[in-house]
Amino acid sequence: MSATGDTHVQDDHDVHHHKETFVTKYIFSQDHKMIAKQYLITGVIIMGIIGILMSLMIRMQIAWPEQPNVIFESLLGKWAPGGVMDADIYLALVTIHGTIMVFFVLTAGLSGTFSNLLIPLQIGARDMASGFLNMISYWLFFLSCVFMIASFFVEAGPAAAGWTIYPPLSALPLAQGGSGMGMTLWLVSMAIFIASSLLGSLNYIVTVINLRTKGMSMTRLPLTIWAFFVTAIIGVISFPVLLSAALLLIMDRSFGTSFFLSDIFIQGEVLHYQGGSPVLFEHLFWFLGHPEVYIVLLPALGITSEIIATNSRKPIFGYRAMVASILAIAFLSTIVWGHHMFISGMNPFLGSVFTFTTLLIAIPSAVKAFNYITTLWKGNLQMNPAMLFSIGLVSTFITGGLTGIILGDSALDINVHDTYFVVAHFHLVMGISALYGVFAGIYHWFPKMFGRMMNKNLGYLHFWVTAVCAYGVFFPMHFIGMAGLPRRYYTNSNFPLFDDTTNAQLVITMFALVGGVVQIVFLYNFISSIFYGKKAEQNPWKSNTLEWTAPVKHMHGNWPGEIPHVYRWSYDYSKPGHDDDFVPQNVPMKEGEEELHH
Amino acid sequence: MTALLTILIVLFVAVAIWQMVKIFNLAQVGASNSQIADDNDNRINGYLMLGFLVFIYGITIVSFIYLGDQPLISNSASEHGPGLDNLLIISFVVIFIVQIITQFLLHYFAYKYKGEKGKKALFYADNNTLEAIWTGIPVIVLAGLIIYGLFTWNDIMTVDEQKDPMIVELYAQQFNWKARYGGDDNVLGKANVRLIDLDNANILGVDESDPNAQDDVIVTELHLPVGKPILFKMRSQDVLHSAYMPHFRAQMNCVPGMVTQFAFTPTVTTAEMRQNPDIQNKVKNINELRVERQAEIEEAGQDLLYEFDYLLLCNKICGKSHYNMQMKIVVETQEEFDAWIKEQKTFENSLLN
Interface test with A, best of B12, B123, B176, B289 (most A CBs within 10 A): B123
* Amino acid sitting at position A328: A
pLDDT of amino acid A597: 57
pLDDT digits (tens, 9 = 90+) for A141-186: 999 999 999 999 998 899 999 999 999 999 999 999 899 999 999 9
CB B153 within 8 A of CB A351: yes
Q: Assess contact for A221 and A544: CB atoms under 8 A.
A: no
- Give Cα separations from A372 to A4, A321, B55, B327 (angstroms): 40, 11, 21, 49
Q: Are residues B144 and B211 in the same domain?
A: no
Distance from CA of A364 to the nearest CA of B (A): 8
pLDDT confidence of residue B69: 74
Query: pLDDT band for position B177 (50/70/90)?
Result: very high
pTM above 0.90, yes or no: yes
- Does one domain contain both B177 and B325? yes
pLDDT at residue A20, as a whole number? 73
> Number of C-alpha atoms within 13 angstroms, CB side, residue B199?
1
Number of domains in chain B: 2
Residue A111 in contact with residue A236, Cβ under 8 Å? no
Q: Is B294 on the interface with A (CB under 8 A)?
A: no
Reply yes or no on whether the pLDDT at B16 is more than 90: no
* pLDDT at residue number A15: 46
- The residues spanned by each domain of chain A are 23-262+270-549
Is the previous residue joined to A153 through a cis bond, with omega within 30 degrees of 0?
A: no
Tell me if A402 and B25 make a contact (CB, 8 A cut-off).
no
Superfamily, domain A23-262+270-549 = Cytochrome c oxidase-like, subunit I domain (1.20.210.10)
Interchain contact, B317 vs A575, CB within 8 Å = no
3-state helix, strand, coil in chain B (%, to 5): 50, 20, 30
Across the interface, do B319 and A169 touch by the CB < 8 Å criterion?
yes
Question: What pLDDT does B3 receive?
Answer: 63
Q: How do residues A37-94 score in pLDDT, each as one tens digit?
A: 999 999 999 999 999 999 999 999 999 988 888 889 888 888 898 889 999 999 999 9
Tell me which chain A residues have a C-beta less than 8 angstroms from the C-beta of B67: 476, 479-480, 483, 501, 504
Instruction: Say if residues A555 and A7 touch (Cβ distance below 8 Å).
Output: yes
CB-CB neighbours of B199 under 10 Å: 7
Q: Is the CB of B72 less than 8 angstroms away from the CB of A68?
A: no
Q: How far apart are CA B25 and CA A495, in angstroms?
A: 50
Taking the CA of residue B334 and the nearest CA in chain A, the distance in Å comes to 26
* Averaged confidence pLDDT in chain A: 92
What's the full length of chain B, in residues? 353
| Domain range enclosing B152 | 38-115+130-158
B131 touches chain A (CB under 8 A): yes
pLDDT(B32) > 60 = no
pLDDT band at A9 (very low <50, low <70, confident <90, very high): very low
Name the nearest CA neighbour of A432 among A287, A304, A285.
A304
Kindly list the strands in the beta sheet with B222-225, ordered across the sheet, starting from the edge strand earlier in the chain: B222-225, B326-332, B310-314, B241-245, B250-254
Task: Categorize the per-residue pLDDT at A598 as very low, low, confident or very high, splitting at 50, 70 and 90.
Answer: very low
Query: For A443, how many CA atoms within 13 A lie in the half-sphere containing its CB?
Result: 30
B34 pLDDT above the threshold of 60: yes
Which pLDDT belongs to residue B296?
85
B292 within a domain of the structure (yes/no)? yes
Interface contact B246-A415, CB threshold 8 A: yes
Give the N- to C-terminal CA distance of chain B in Å, as an integer.
55
Query: By C-alpha distance, which of B66, B74, B76 is closest to B285?
Result: B66
- State pLDDT tens for residues A526-546: 999 999 999 999 999 999 999
CATH number, domain at B185?
Answer: 2.60.40.420
Q: Provide the pLDDT for residue A18.
A: 58
The 10s digit of each residue's pLDDT in A323-381 is 999 999 999 999 999 999 999 999 999 999 999 999 899 999 999 999 999 999 999 99
**Chain B residues whose beta carbon lies within 8 Å of the beta carbon of residue A457:** 21, 24-25, 28
CA distance A21 to A16: 14
Residue B23 lies in a domain: no
Per-residue pLDDT at B25 exceeds 70: no
How does DSSP classify residue A539?
Answer: S
Closest-CA distance of chain B to residue A129, Å: 33
pLDDT of residue A587: 93
B134 DSSP assignment:
H
A514 three-class SS:
helix
Strand B260-264 to strand B230-236: parallel, antiparallel, or no bridges (unpaired)?
A: antiparallel
Same domain, B78 and B192: no
Domain membership of residue B123 (yes or no) is: no
| Residue B262: per-residue pLDDT | 95
d(CA A50, CA A97): 8
Name the more confident of A27 and A14: A27
B322/B195 same-domain check: yes
Categorise residue A451: left if φ over 0, alpha if ψ from -120 to 50, beta otherwise: left
- B195: nearest CA in chain A? A270
B74 plus B172 within the same structural domain: no
pLDDT average, residue stretch B148-165: 90
Task: State the DSSP code for B346.
Answer: B
Per the prediction, chain B carries an average pLDDT of 90
pLDDT score at B61: 93
pLDDT tens-digit readout, A229-279: 999 999 999 999 999 999 999 999 999 999 999 999 999 899 999 999 999
Shortest Cα–Cα distance, B186 to chain A (Å)? 23
pLDDT digits (tens, 9 = 90+) for A554-595: 888 999 989 999 999 999 999 998 988 999 999 999 888 887
Look at residue A394 and give its three-state secondary structure. helix
- Banded pLDDT at B225 (limits 50, 70, 90): very high
The DSSP symbol for A154 reads: S
B114 contact residues in A (CB cutoff 8 A): 381, 383
User: Phi and psi for A191 in degrees, rounded to 5?
Assistant: -60, -45
Instruction: List the single residue in A351, A483, A596 with the smallest CB-CB distance to B153.
Output: A351
Give the DSSP letter of residue A221. Answer: S
* Tens of pLDDT, residues A308-331: 999 999 999 999 999 999 999 999
A11 has a pLDDT exceeding 80: no
Contact assessment for residue A201 and residue A113, using Cβ atoms and an 8 Å cutoff: no
Residues B271, B326, single domain; the answer is yes
Report the pLDDT value the prediction gives residue B67, as an integer from 0 to 100: 86
Mean pLDDT within B128-133:
91
Q: Does A75 touch chain B (CB under 8 A)?
A: no
Backbone angles phi, psi at B121, to 5 degrees: -75, 160
Nearest to A298 by CA among A97, A108, A111: A111
Q: Please check whether residue A369 is in contact with residue B102, taking contact to mean a CB–CB distance below 8 angstroms.
A: yes
Confirm whether B30 is domain-assigned. Answer: no
| pLDDT of A346 | 92
Residue B89 belongs to a domain:
yes
Q: Average the pLDDT over B189-211 and give the result.
A: 93
Query: Which residues of B, range 2-31, sit inside 8 Å of A by Cβ?
Result: 2-4, 6-7, 9-10, 13-14, 17, 20-21, 24-25, 28
pLDDT of residue B338 exceeding 70? yes
pLDDT in tens, A467-487: 999 999 999 999 999 989 999
My answer on whether B233 and B88 are in the same domain is no
Report yes or no: A458 and A521 within 8 Å, Cβ to Cβ. yes
Determine the angle formed by the axes of helices B81-112 and B39-67, rounding to 10 degrees. 160
- Measured CA to CA, the distance from residue A118 to residue A128 in angstroms comes to 10
**Same domain for B182 and B243?**
yes
Same domain, B166 and B148: no
- How much is the pLDDT for B81? 93
Among chain B residues, CA nearest to A520 = B14
Provide, rounded to the nearest whole percent, the portion of chain A with pLDDT above 70. Answer: 96
